[in-house]
Amino acid sequence: MTDLPVVRQATRADVPRLAATLAAAYPDYRWTSWALPEDGRTQRLSRWAELWGGLVPVLAGTAWVTDDVNAAAAWVAPDAGEHAADLQAVIDRDLPRVFGARQPVVLASERLGALGRPEEPHWWLHAVGTRPSARHQGLGAAVLQPVIERCDADGVPAAATVYTSTVVRWLQRSGFAVTHSTRTAVDHELPIWTLVRQPKRS
């Protein structure tokens, strides 16, 4: 019998490895080549992972990792407030650096994906990934569990926007269901699915 992976809340010390894990997980994700300009794409992805996948959720207490940080999930909580002024300044500075000329269409597409989100407060899955060498061991599903269990306990939905049917099917195994589908803004190049998981009542 395989031991269940140890999952814990990420700490500030985990940010470099957490970011490296997400950066390693995302190069073959269709969103990456669509959203990030080709020039400096590796560096852009690393900064995206460090800031939005690592630092922002870790400071908010909404990132979970396996104990070896081979898998990570970054969420936005239902009661998330404004970022601290210094962190917001970094986001405002780095957002154009990460997305470059793609920033308007990326942000417009995110707004389209948000149309399927629940109206009531909910947990929002911002990023989840597993290092390629550690895939197919259930680690991705494991790092989702702390928030899924909390959603069930609190009676709160969870939601996510994804860009491939493979990820849709993967989230469906954790109880998510498609609530909205469209295509990316302007270029219509990628499909967008928004999925919602309703809490299970005990």
List, for residues 129-172, the tens digit of each pLDDT value.
Answer: 999 999 999 999 999 999 999 999 999 999 999 999 999 999 99
| pTM to 2 decimal places | 0.94
From the number of C-beta atoms within 10 Å of its C-beta (0-12, 13-18, 19+), residue 4 rates as exposed
Average pLDDT, the chain: 95
- 59-95 pLDDT, tens digit per residue, is 999 999 999 999 999 999 999 999 999 999 999 999 9
Contact 192, 184 (CB under 8 A): yes
Task: Return d(Cα 127, Cα 32) in angstroms, integer.
Answer: 12
Is residue 32's pLDDT more than 70? yes
How far is residue 107's CA from residue 190's CA, in Å, rounded to a whole number? 14
